[in-house]
Amino acid sequence: MSSDVALVGANLPRNTWLELSGFLGVRQRCLGSVENRGSVSRDNGVTEKMNQPDQNAERELFKNAILHRAQISSEIFEQTGGEILYGPFTGMRLIRNNSWVGDGDVAPKILGFYEMELASEIERASRAGYESVVNVGAAEGYYAVGMSRMMPDARVYAFDIDEKAQAICREAGELN
């Protein structure tokens, strides 16, 4: 990983990048870091409370966390060619495009811990002999394409109201 990646958000705990698997988790982690500051005593003996969150510091910390996450995801994508290394969809290839704001959870998907609480259910469903799979809100097709690879005899239906998401899902299906 390049040195500029390691320096972004350097004030965060060393394990923070692992916390970045969920967009909301990033914000909660950053807010916790900003809000837990205690109080400061000034020269005149008056103690100033520092417990009120500094909105500018909060925004800057959040921006740095998102930038750091994007750099990590990009580095992991480059090193793996977008191929998922672990989890139920091992071997599936991701494309760079994503259909919503953020980085598309690329790093957690490639490393196999994206929504890992569903892994056993995905494995179970793939062995159950279903004839079809319906994915509503398919976005870029992670589950639709992954299930299609695991269940080659099943018909997979992927739905999304966003035309960009539909095109990305179709492209991901063709790639795999």
Q: Are residues 71 and 90 in the same domain?
A: no
44 domain-assigned: no
Query: Which residue range(s) make up the domain with 143?
Result: 81-176
What's the predicted TM-score (pTM) here?
Answer: 0.66
Q: Are residues 34 and 90 in the same domain?
A: no
Q: Report the number of distinct structural domains present in the chain.
A: 2
Q: Are residues 31 and 110 in the same domain?
A: no
Q: Which residue has the higher pLDDT, 85 or 31?
A: 85
24 domain-assigned: yes
SS3 55: helix
Q: Are residues 62 and 86 in the same domain?
A: no
Give the CA distances from residue 150 to residues 38, 74, 155, in Å, rounded to whole numbers and listed in that order.
Answer: 52, 26, 11
Structure tokens that stand for 60 in this block: 């800057």
pLDDT digits (tens, 9 = 90+) for 6-65: 333 334 333 322 222 333 333 333 344 433 344 444 444 444 445 556 678 888 888 888
- Phi and psi torsions of 37, nearest 5°: -115, -10
| Spatial CB neighbours of 14, under 8 Å, sequence gap ≥ 6 | none
Question: Using CA atoms, how far apart are residues 105 and 73, in angstroms rounded to an integer?
Answer: 8
54 domain-assigned: yes
Judge whether residue 145 has pLDDT over 80.
Answer: yes
